[in-house]
Amino acid sequence: MRISIIGGGIAGLSFALGLQQKGIDCEVFEGVPEVKEIGVGITLLPHAMKELAAVGVQAQIEALGIENLESVFYTRHGQYVYREARGRHAGYALPEIGIHRGKLHRILFDEAVRRLGADRVHTGHRCTGFTQDDTGVTLNFDLADGSRRQVRSELVVACDGVNSTVRKQMHPHDKVCFGGINTWRGVSIHKPILTGKSYLRIGTVEHGKMVIYPIQDNVDGQGNQLVNWVAELQRPDAAMNDWNKPGDVQVCADIYKDWKFPFLDVPAMILNSEKVLEYPMVDKDALPFWTQGRVTLMGDAAHPMYPRGSNGSAQALIDARTLADCLVQNESPLQALQQYESMRLPTTAKVVQTNRTMPPDFIIMKADELSHGQPFKHIDDLISQEELRQISENYKQIAGFALKA
């Protein structure tokens, strides 16, 4: 069996590593001419780390990232709402890791080149479409040097992201869903915040929300960390941020100019960022199908979701392992694709919907609702810690990483 993987991101590379372990022939085709360590931070939850450990890269990831100790929630007034232990500290077998996305990508890419061989991992190959017949699939590529190429495969797995060319060919009327939430992302060199291993959520999207966590220790030799931050703001009349335009750090800092708390000066942290990237917060409605003959979708190409709860990468990694298992378990590769879709499409559709309506920061949304957005004396006057814990557990259950599971 020969499988072509379109896209050399987290989904595509982890899938390739999983197939290689099982002795299944595959090739990866990535659109960018050169893989560079770009981007900002990513959090790998225990169920994501389980999949990465299975393909043999856990030690490399732990060496370059920071293991989270806790997740802490605050209102936009800087008032404490809820705290819980994370990863190994919460009883999981595997850690929760914050890491620079570019470093994670480099680990996976280098491992794929080493294990598959450089001749099986192609860069500068942008897929423009496919045709198929009873015996295989023909892929069309525009190459970085301006030429074109066709590749023939028995199966094709499209891991080409939220703007997937393959998905668009399957579902020509498909479009992103934008609910008026724009985001700004950056990294800043900053002294350790709280424990130095704390994942912070502050505020709600209606008035401004921040997600902040460290991704590299002692980055300057003086004990400071590289801290990843994400700012989110929802406005009913908002136009979508531009995917490709650098953000204005001053605009972002102005939104949070009053967020000066005893534990963190938010505008100062933003202004200390070397650069800011802006994105719209978008997802897509669940598809009626992922698989068309010998072609299927995976990761963000299959189920792009709001980047809440650190769960997009985890679901992509689970996709990769599930399909690799299905290919081994089924004599017919076409049956394997259908089994994979039946196992993963309903589950990820539920996660997409939950990330829209009841994400982990619903804990802060609930506190805001009960306090009418005003400062309060103590959170226990509004809601018990047990009720807040249950909100957290409900999300973990749907997302597939409840401790009992």
Per-residue pLDDT tens over the stretch 46-69:
999 999 999 999 999 999 999 999
- CA–CA gap between residue 90 and residue 169 (Å, rounded): 44
The amino acid occupying position 273 is: S
The fold for domain 2-39+101-176+285-357 equals FAD/NAD(P)-binding domain (3.50.50)
State the pLDDT at residue 356: 86
Chain centre distance of CA 203: 21
- CA–CA gap between residue 276 and residue 246 (Å, rounded): 6
State the pLDDT at residue 357: 83
Instruction: Say if residue 183's pLDDT is above 80.
Output: yes
State the pLDDT at residue 405: 64
What lies within 8 Å, CB to CB, of 269 at 6+ separation is: 188, 190, 212, 227, 229
State the pLDDT at residue 126: 97
State the pLDDT at residue 190: 96
User: Residues 272, 279: contact at Cβ < 8 Å?
Assistant: no
State the pLDDT at residue 337: 98
Q: How confident is the model at residue 189 (pLDDT cuts 50, 70, 90)?
A: very high
Region for residue 78 given its phi and psi (left: phi exceeds 0; alpha: psi -120 to 50; beta: otherwise): left
For the chain, give the mean pLDDT. Answer: 94
Per-residue pLDDT averaged across 77-103, rounded? Answer: 96
Instruction: Say if residue 244's pLDDT is above 80.
Output: no
Task: Please tell me the least confidently modeled range out of 74-78, 304-308, 363-367.
Answer: 304-308
What lies within 8 Å, CB to CB, of 32 at 6+ separation is: 123, 124
Q: How confident is the model at residue 246 (pLDDT cuts 50, 70, 90)?
A: confident
pTM higher than the cut 0.85: yes
Instruction: Say if residue 243's pLDDT is above 90.
Output: no
State the pLDDT at residue 242: 83
71 pairs with which residues across the strands? 84, 199
Per-residue pLDDT averaged across 299-326, rounded? Answer: 93
Q: What is the pLDDT of residues 120-177, one digit of tens each?
A: 999 999 999 999 999 999 999 999 999 999 999 999 999 999 999 999 999 999 999 9
SS3 339: helix
